[in-house]
Structure 1
Amino acid sequence: MKKRYLLLVILFIYSCMLTLTSCNKTTVDSSNNVIVNEETRKIDGNAEKIVKPGYEKLEELLDDEESNKKFQGTVLVADGDDIVFAKAYGYADAQEKIENKLTTRFAIASNTKQFTATAIMQLVEQNIISLDETIDKYFPDYKYGNKITMKNLLQMRSGIPDYLNELDLFMRDEDTKKILKEYESNAYYDKYVEDYRWSSEIILKNLYLTELLFEPNEEYDYCNTNYYLLGLIIEEVSGMSFEDYLEEYIFKPSKMGSSSVIPLNSDAKGHGSDKSGVIVANHEFTYAAGAIYSNIFDMFRWSRMLHKGDIITRKSYEEMITPVDDYGYGLFVKDNIIGHSGVIDGFTSNTEYDINKDRTIIVLENIDPEIDNLDAQYHTNLIREYLDGQVEEGAIN
């Protein structure tokens, strides 16, 4: 009891320090409707768009993507703290004819992982956990727990099969197999995962029966299970639910008032590749690997907090963005580009920060990437190539 009380006191003090730091350094207002820049006027987040001089051709390029039914969602481009372009495209709900707005929230899927990794680094800074400790401390019944470290989970080098994408390798429990067979067409939604707290028991039950794909730290293999387990560890050591921890120590200090793990009725709906059919899915099953909902403004606030060193120490940040096989902690890192992509039923997302140019690109989409593999990653690449002068003038109508 005393240990738990002391931990809560430490976390409270840490939260206060982060709040003070963010107030001094962040130039993005906490309001859901207003973005503030030091050198520009206030911009209404409910406005139709933000297009600074010199970015009109970028608007034409993306308008063309929408007209060809290749794009639906929101985009933000920023130069340092200054938002130079932001626009919403298509419908948040095509059936109800509700249009996307700049403030519309989307499922960001695997972009959640950078938040989970940051939470882990906060706990490391408080000496509550160590990246070199093995996970048998938290999962004593796991036969490979004494081989796998926290760092292995963060860097996708654990050897554990993916509970989302490698069902045949991960789901070894016979009762689970029966459920999967019964609900094969919607295994992770509806009756199977009405409560993802219950499903964590299923995850661990199957984890304890799985075999490793390779010895820990010998290879890289992108795996959602790693970050699911990190979420459970965050809960155990903090004494808080994953969503409550994020709210208190990530979202509040970062002034992300429009972000949560819990979906809202006003969120954008996922759509099929033809943009007409609404996909109804329970994304909470992805948990610490992909359950966050957010909008472009909150993701920009987050980007500035993270990359300016206002949410964790510079030392922790540098460790986070030091890649092994192009992956750091919850972030892909290649050359000067740091970011992540996310894909889940009806949604794709991509966040990108160019550390050399201090440039942020955020793309959130609510359409399945089935049209020639066009998704948030594709449109991020298109925007970057345009900004870097790699898109020919003739490509813009």
Structure 2
Amino acid sequence: MKKRHLLLGILIMFSCMVTLTSCNRKNVDISSDTILNDKPNEKVEIDEKIEIDKNVEKIVESGYEGLEKLLDEESSNRKFQGVVLVADGDEIVFAKAYGYADTEDKRKNKLTTRFAIASNTKQFTATAIMQLVEQNKISLDETIDKYFPDYKYGNKITIKNLLQMRSGIPDYLNELDLFMKDKATINLLKEYESNVYYDKYVEDYRWSSEMILKNLYLTELIFEPNEEYDYCNTNYYLLGLIIEEVTGMSFGNYLNEYIFKPSGMDSSSIIPLDSDAKGHGSDESGEIVANPQFTYAAGAIYSNIFDMFNWSRALYKGDIITRESYEKMTTPVDDYGYGLFIKDNIISHSGYIDGFTSNTEYDITKDRIIIVLENINPETDDLDAKYHTNLIREYLDESE
């Protein structure tokens, strides 16, 4: 979620109206209308073509034994830790988990283990916006002063600018010196200056939308809206707030009702759980669980590979938004659409946050999905979910 120079290998990840008493997993009270209960013995039906036992240890279809050997060696030699899924259309042809969800209690990763997907959240936020556009509740060309009347640049920035990363707003995650201007916020950050791992501030329970907006209203644009592309988490934070204002629902509840349920994502939420994989960061960082009110609509979702597979198929097939909306989402400007990167017939997004990396990829021409979720900070520039996605794709292409 955050760029590597700021968060030890972290690139890309936010007020949530779901009430949290603490950002510690053990202190979170989750109501039944916020997340669906996980049922380990339940069968998962995917597009009514195949049925998968959620307790299955792995899936290796004929012809994919070589891929298993490659990833087994990667896990053994390079400490790859996470879960991988490859699908050919509606059929999952490979899925396997590696390493530990929690090294302390030796709890192994499983195919059903949830991971922080960080900035992969953005495609869900963008889809929610497109749903509201289809209902004529939002216009892509309307300016955001309608929602943030106290923001002096609100009459220059459109919702489309936010979606396409072309607003000119500084990034509240990666450009702290440009964005964090409010005295209370600066004082909060100063409390972490003496911490051996400064970025522990992402856990702080005091983060709120009010605090983020106070800082937004004090910032200057870094370029005029629509003049250029600049990846910026603030854009998607604001989109989440717009979704809440238009619908009268919390961001988390909207996702659950109109994104997760219709997509068959029965395990996903924006609330971290004890059963999730734990991010294995540095010795200095320890385990970090970012406050969902800080990560929010730019990177707060926790999900597993089955849910992400169901999501990819539902989005592509028009089960969530219309084909017209999908085409708008996947029409790139500077290789970025709405919450998705598009290049060379591949639609993708990656995510980075303390202890986690994720990457999702859909090859349009081959109708092939690759999903990689990892719970370890990259020890090198190569050891992350994006690297492993590339490794898998190259192997599959050479094997054809």
Measured against the shorter chain, the TM-score band is 0.7 to 0.9
C-alpha separation in 2, matches of 1:382 and 1:221:
27
In the alignment, structure 1 residue 380 sits paired with structure 2 residue 380: no
In the alignment, structure 1 residue 194 sits paired with structure 2 residue 210: no
Unpaired segments of 5 or more residues in structure 1?
1-29, 392-397
Tell whether the 8 Å contact from 2:203 to 2:290 is kept in structure 1 after alignment: no
Residues 243-283 of structure 1: per-residue CA shift (max 9 Å, x gap)? 00000100111111010011111000000268x98522224
Tell whether the 8 Å contact from 1:273 to 1:369 is kept in structure 2 after alignment: no
C-alpha separation in 1, matches of 2:332 and 2:313:
20
What amino acid is the match of 2:306?
A: F
C-alpha separation in 2, matches of 1:38 and 1:136:
41
In the alignment, structure 1 residue 269 sits paired with structure 2 residue 278: yes
C-alpha separation in 2, matches of 1:191 and 1:119:
25
Cα shift at 1:288: 0.1
Tell whether the 8 Å contact from 1:120 to 1:234 is kept in structure 2 after alignment: yes
Task: Determine the structure 1 residue equivalent to 2:114.
Answer: 105
What amino acid is the match of 1:167?
A: L
User: 1:281 is matched with which residue: 284, 289, 292?
Assistant: 289
User: 2:58 is matched with which residue: 28, 49, 55?
Assistant: 49
1:1-397 alignment runs, 5 A limit: 33-36=42-45, 42-184=51-193, 185=195, 189=200, 193-194=204-205, 196=207, 199-272=208-281, 278-284=286-292, 285-389=294-398
Tell whether the 8 Å contact from 1:158 to 1:215 is kept in structure 2 after alignment: yes
Q: 313-322 vs 38-47, which deviates more?
A: 38-47
C-alpha separation in 2, matches of 1:183 and 1:44:
45
What amino acid is the match of 2:290?
A: N
What amino acid is the match of 2:334?
A: D
C-alpha separation in 2, matches of 1:250 and 1:37:
16
Tell whether the 8 Å contact from 2:342 to 2:348 is kept in structure 1 after alignment: yes
Q: Would the alpha carbon gap of residues 352 and 68 (structure 1) be closer, same or farther in structure 2, given more than 3 Å must change?
A: same
Residues 76-120 of structure 1: per-residue CA shift (max 9 Å, x gap)? 000000000000000000111000000000000000000000000
What amino acid is the match of 2:328?
A: E
Cα shift at 1:38: 7.1
C-alpha separation in 2, matches of 1:43 and 1:342:
26
C-alpha separation in 2, matches of 1:245 and 1:356:
32
C-alpha separation in 2, matches of 1:111 and 1:297:
15
Cα shift at 1:187: 6.2
C-alpha separation in 1, matches of 2:68 and 2:311:
24
Q: 381-390 vs 312-321, which deviates more?
A: 381-390
The TM-score normalised by the length of structure 2 is: 0.86
Identity of aligned residues (%): 76
Residues 351-389 of structure 1: per-residue CA shift (max 9 Å, x gap)? 000011100000000000133431000000000000000
SS in 2 for 1:342: strand
Task: Determine the structure 1 residue equivalent to 2:10.
Answer: none
C-alpha separation in 2, matches of 1:319 and 1:82:
27
Tell whether the 8 Å contact from 1:31 to 1:257 is kept in structure 2 after alignment: no
What amino acid is the match of 2:241?
A: L
Tell whether the 8 Å contact from 1:34 to 1:45 is kept in structure 2 after alignment: yes
Q: Would the alpha carbon gap of residues 350 and 192 (structure 1) be closer, same or farther in structure 2, given more than 3 Å must change?
A: closer
What amino acid is the match of 1:163?
A: Y
Tell whether the 8 Å contact from 2:200 to 2:285 is kept in structure 1 after alignment: no
What amino acid is the match of 2:101?
A: A
Unpaired segments of 5 or more residues in structure 2?
1-37
Cα RMSD for the two superposed structures: 2.1
Higher relative contact order (CA 8 A, sep 6+): 2
What amino acid is the match of 2:239?
A: L
Tell whether the 8 Å contact from 1:106 to 1:365 is kept in structure 2 after alignment: yes
- The number of equivalent residue pairs is 359
Residues 216-261 of structure 1: per-residue CA shift (max 9 Å, x gap)? 0000000000000000000001000000000010011111101001
Residues 283-319 of structure 1: per-residue CA shift (max 9 Å, x gap)? 4111000000000000000000001111000000000
Residues 191-215 of structure 1: per-residue CA shift (max 9 Å, x gap)? 973154xx21111000000010100
Cα shift at 1:34: 2.9
Cα shift at 1:40: 6.8
Q: Would the alpha carbon gap of residues 227 and 188 (structure 1) be closer, same or farther in structure 2, given more than 3 Å must change?
A: farther
C-alpha separation in 2, matches of 1:136 and 1:282:
29
C-alpha separation in 2, matches of 1:39 and 1:387:
26
What amino acid is the match of 2:314?
A: M
Tell whether the 8 Å contact from 2:46 to 2:310 is kept in structure 1 after alignment: no
C-alpha separation in 2, matches of 1:120 and 1:37:
25
Tell whether the 8 Å contact from 2:50 to 2:91 is kept in structure 1 after alignment: no
SS in 1 for 2:131: helix
C-alpha separation in 1, matches of 2:289 and 2:280:
11
Q: Would the alpha carbon gap of residues 356 and 236 (structure 1) be closer, same or farther in structure 2, given more than 3 Å must change?
A: same
